[in-house]
Structure formats: C-alpha cells, structure tokens
Chains A and B, each alone.
Chain A
Amino acid sequence: MGDRSGLQAASQLFWKQGCTMMFKDVADFCICVSMTRRGLRLGMAKVTQVDFPPKEMVSYSKETQTPTDTQTHTQARPEEEEDEEELAEAKPAEDSQEKKADQEEKQEEAPPKELTEEEKMHLLHSDEFLTFFDRGSRIVERALSERVDVCFDYSGRDLEDKEGEMQAGAKMSLNRTFSDERWSKNRVVTCLDWSPQYPELLVASYNNNEDVPHEPDGVALVWNMKYKKTTPEYTFHCQHPVYCVNVVGTQNAHNLISISTDGKMCSWSLDMLSQPQDCLELVFKQSKAVAVTSMAFPLGDVNNFVVGSEDGSVYTACRHGSKAGISDVFEGHHGPVTGLSCHSAGGPVDFSHLFISASFDWTVKLWTTKSTRPLYSFEDSCDYVYDVMWSPTHPALFACVDGSGRLDLWNLNNDTEVPSASVVVDGSTALNRVRWSHSGREIATGDSDGQVLVYDVGEPICVPKPDEWSRLVHTLMEINENRDEGDELAAQRLVA
C-alpha cells in the first residue's frame, strides 16, 4: 500500500455516526472501521505513523507530508485508491470536497478535535501556557509595531519622512517617549539607568501612585529603544518605593551600594539581598549624621565617593580603610543637594577630581576634590535643579534638569554663563532625573508624571573634538583665576 504519511494516531477514540475509528497498533497497522450510511466497511490500511504530540520526537519521512489532524482524512482514505499520493495543497481542497459530499463528516470537523470549555480553561491557567504566552506576546507585539513594508513600491508614490529623523544641525530632538497607562502614570520617575550590555535597554524606577493606594508602591520598568512598541519589555514591582541604587566595581567583584537619609550606607552582595554585607554610619565630626540625598562614585573608584546632603553640603567619604567615613565637607549650596555627578569622560587629561552638584537653590556648582570651595556656580535656572550628569564621552559637557521642565546642556569650553542647548518639555511637569546613554549621544530624562523621554543630541554638540581636553584645561585655569580674583575682591570690600 502506498505511503500514508501525515496521519496522527488518535489517542482519543470517538464513536460517532459516520466517523472512522482508528486503533493504534504496535505493528503500525491500523484497522479502519468506517461506519457510513452505506453500512459497515472494514478495511486494512497500512499507515505510516507520524506523531506530533508535544513531548514526543517529531518523526517524518522525506516524502510529501500530508496534513495531520482531522479524521476526515482517514475517512477519505478507504474510499479512495490507497496508492494515491496526495500533496499537502491538494488535501485541504479534497477535504472540503469530501465534506460537501458527506453530511456526517461535517460533524466531526470540529467536535472530535475540540476541547471542552473546562479543558480550555484548565490549559489557559497552566504554567506552560503562561510562560509561552509571556514570551510569544512580547515577540508578536514587537513584530506588530514594526511597520516596515519590504514590498513597498517607490515609483509613483511620494516619499514620506520617517518619524524620529533628526534634521541636520538640530541641537536636541525628542526621539521617544515612554509611559505606561497602568504602571507609570501618576508616579514620579525616581531613577534611570542605561544597560551597559544592551545599549537599547533603559530601566526606570518609579515611586508610589498616590491615586491608587492598593497598587504596589515601587515599580521598575525596562524600556526598549530598538523596537517601536510602546509597552515596557519587563515590569517589576515591590512594596516600597524605589529611590536609587548604584552598582560599583568590576564584573567579578561588585557590590550594590545603597544609601539613605538616616545617614547609613550599606553595601550588599547581589547574591544575598536579605542582609547588607556591611554598613557604614556617615557622621560628620563624630556627631552629626549626614542626611544623604545623593551619591556618586568617581570613575573606576570603589572606595572614595561623594555624597550630597539635605543641609546643602557635599561630603567626600571613603568606604574602607582607617579613615572610613566622611573626610571633607564642601559647603556652598543653600539648599538640599539633589544630584551629584563625578567627571567620567576619559581622555588625554585626567579630570576625575571634578564633580558637579545640583541643588534646590536653583544652581549647579562645579567643584574639585582639591578645594572645599566651589570652582564655579551655574545660575541660569529659575527653579529647583533636580539632577545633573556629566557626559560620558565629552569632557566639558554636562546636562541638568529642573522643576520647570527644562533640560539644559552646558559646554564649559563654549560658555559658562548660558547653556549651549536647552529644551523645555511639553506639559507642566518637572524633570526629576537625567541620564546620558553610555554612547553619549542620547539623554533620557524622567518627569514627575511618570514619563521617560529620550532625546537625541546633535553631533556637533555631543561628540568631542580631540582638543576638548586641552581646552578644558585652559577653561579651568580661567575659572580658577576668576575665583581667586573674586575672593580677593570680596576680601578687599570687607576691609574697606
């Protein structure tokens, strides 16, 4: 007998008027019993058994595969010449013909292969289904959002500009806005970070949503820049609001450092998050606990760090060694320090002693660890400055955000009086966080309404030229001179 490939051995047996029952036999022979209106017909049909149950090995022959499921096939078979080879395409057509031919056959189309509602519900609640659905829906959503038409015909059609393309020479243009109706609306963005491993991934943490008290207080969402879908890749939530975390160290020896307003700094091992590895009380002059609001580690340093506090002072400190704890105090701000950033753009000259701080006093101040007085104060803002960050690639460039929704880019080598680029975010929200991507070409900022906005920065602004480092040396010298002059003048005025 010819090859009857593609038949699924029925593990369920059905007796129905006009249906065919198949017994699975060890010897690969199937006894077909077909009961039609014409009466009982018995026939031997040798069947090449091909199984597609989930956990078994898929076996197949090199011959043409014919479709698997419905039992109409088996019904059709005894009625035809058994040597006939049927191609897959022909089968469905034949099927429908068979269907039309025999009334009873129609019945079996759906029911024998259908599951009861109960069985379906059971499946839909199973773990495997949920795992499958989580992954499958994510992939499908990404695919759906891509609107690339590879068959597009350009002749006779106008070319439309794609969204997101930057006009040449534009300083900063909005690339993406990330916001989720359920998880990010009405929450403040408390922290942002770009993934070092996958540059298109960005994680944002949010505090609690006051309007919805029964939803979890702390939410972290992972957003993907690569695909156009507007929903987060992953969602995490926890009971307490998330404020800030920092991972220091190398890939093999790293710690999670957390710091809070009670002056305690804890370092945690990522393997054991139930207890900190060690704690450090940050006290200034043996008595005053420092209420820490922000923290920064210089590039490559895991021991020394700077913290900003509620009282407007910045402190340097170290984690280990005989002088563990607070070392120096830098006074200058008149309000709580909201953000700190240590210089990180590597280059021919080392500027890692520089750091900048943002504060409620409307200013951003430039400091060096070598002096406890600020080097310079940037006073262009008219609202609380909430965050500041050096560019990871350009030595003289930094970004700051304030409560009026303004994102400013300052280039020390261009102008220290006014920002080199500025953009105001639509809507009356305050910008709470700013984070450069690792490439230094994009900036992510989070606002008080749960939105994360990603801006592309124009090349002329964010890409450093080779002489930026030496120019910065000159700029710093000038700043230093001005500061000393200013001090002298102030001293003279006091005397006079």
Chain B
Amino acid sequence: MAEVEETLKRIQSQKGVQGIIIVNAEGIPIKTTLDNSSTVQYAGLIHQSVMKARSTVRDIDPQNDLTFLRIRSKKNEIMIAPDKDYFLIVIQNPSD
C-alpha cells in the first residue's frame, strides 16, 4: 500500500501533472489528488468517454480491447490507462 502511495507521489511530481484519479469500473473515484467536485466531474465524464471508446474498439473487432486512451486538448492532456476493474486517469499540462 505504501508502494502505491509512493508511486502516486512520484507520478504527481512529474512535470506538468495536474491530478491523478483512480476510478473503479462503475465510475466511482476511489483515490484522487484533486478536490472533490473536480474529481466527481472528471470521473463521471471520463468514465463515459472510456466506455464509448472501448465499445467502439470492440464493435470494430470483438477480439480487440482498449489498452490506453489519450485525450489531447489545447490546454492539457488526459491519459487513461483502463483495465478490467479500474481506470487510472492522469491529467497533464505538457507546456509546464
């Protein structure tokens, strides 16, 4: 458990990282470095996006599955590492 904390701290201290959220498969945040309202907002919205992305991939080829999702916007970048049971969401501002 301490290792998880350490890793989170390490990721958080990387250049430009604004926040880290871990959500479970239902979209409920279980660990976050952001404030509560942002967390809830990001968790809900990103969960939908990931589900849509995953179903897109599966639609095209049922044997395929989503492994990584990156949403690049003008102001920042959202990286999502999805899994069967959880998602790891990291928001980074690359110009920092």
- Report chain A residues within 8 Å CB of B54: 58
Tell whether, in the assembled complex, residue B45 and residue A92 are in contact, meaning their CB atoms are under 8 Å apart.
yes
A123: CB under 8 A from chain B?
yes
Tell whether, in the assembled complex, residue A68 and residue B48 are in contact, meaning their CB atoms are under 8 Å apart.
yes
A459 CB to nearest chain B CB (Å): 33
- Report chain A residues within 8 Å CB of B8: 137
Question: Using a CB-CB cutoff of 8 Å, which residues 176-218 of chain A contact chain B?
Answer: none
Question: Using a CB-CB cutoff of 8 Å, which residues 41-96 of chain B contact chain A?
Answer: 44-45, 47-48, 51-52, 54-55, 58, 68, 70, 72, 79, 81, 83-86, 88, 90, 92, 94
A261 CB to nearest chain B CB (Å): 36
Whether A128 contacts B85 in the complex (CB less than 8 A), given A60-B55, A115-B30, comes out as yes
Tell whether, in the assembled complex, residue B40 and residue A149 are in contact, meaning their CB atoms are under 8 Å apart.
no
- Report chain B residues within 8 Å CB of A129: 85-86
> Within the assembled complex, what's the spacing in Å between the Cα atoms of A151 and B75?
12
> Within the assembled complex, what's the spacing in Å between the Cα atoms of A134 and B1?
11
A70: CB under 8 A from chain B?
yes
> Within the assembled complex, what's the spacing in Å between the Cα atoms of A4 and B7?
41
Q: How many residues of A contact B (CB 8 A)?
A: 41
Q: Mark A281-300, 1 if CB is under 8 A from B, else 0.
A: 00000000000000000000
* Contact with A52, one of B17, B25, B30, B40 (Cβ below 8 angstroms): B25
B38 CB to nearest chain A CB (Å): 12
Tell whether, in the assembled complex, residue B26 and residue A8 are in contact, meaning their CB atoms are under 8 Å apart.
yes
Whether A65 contacts B40 in the complex (CB less than 8 A), given A124-B30, A133-B4, comes out as no
Tell whether, in the assembled complex, residue A136 and residue B40 are in contact, meaning their CB atoms are under 8 Å apart.
no
Whether A69 contacts B25 in the complex (CB less than 8 A), given A120-B31, A136-B83, comes out as no
B49 CB to nearest chain A CB (Å): 9
Whether A58 contacts B52 in the complex (CB less than 8 A), given A124-B1, A139-B68, A144-B92, comes out as no
Tell whether, in the assembled complex, residue A133 and residue B40 are in contact, meaning their CB atoms are under 8 Å apart.
no
B34: CB under 8 A from chain A?
no
A and B contact pairs by CB, cutoff 8 A, 6 listed:
A52-B51, A58-B54, A124-B1, A124-B4, A137-B81, A137-B88
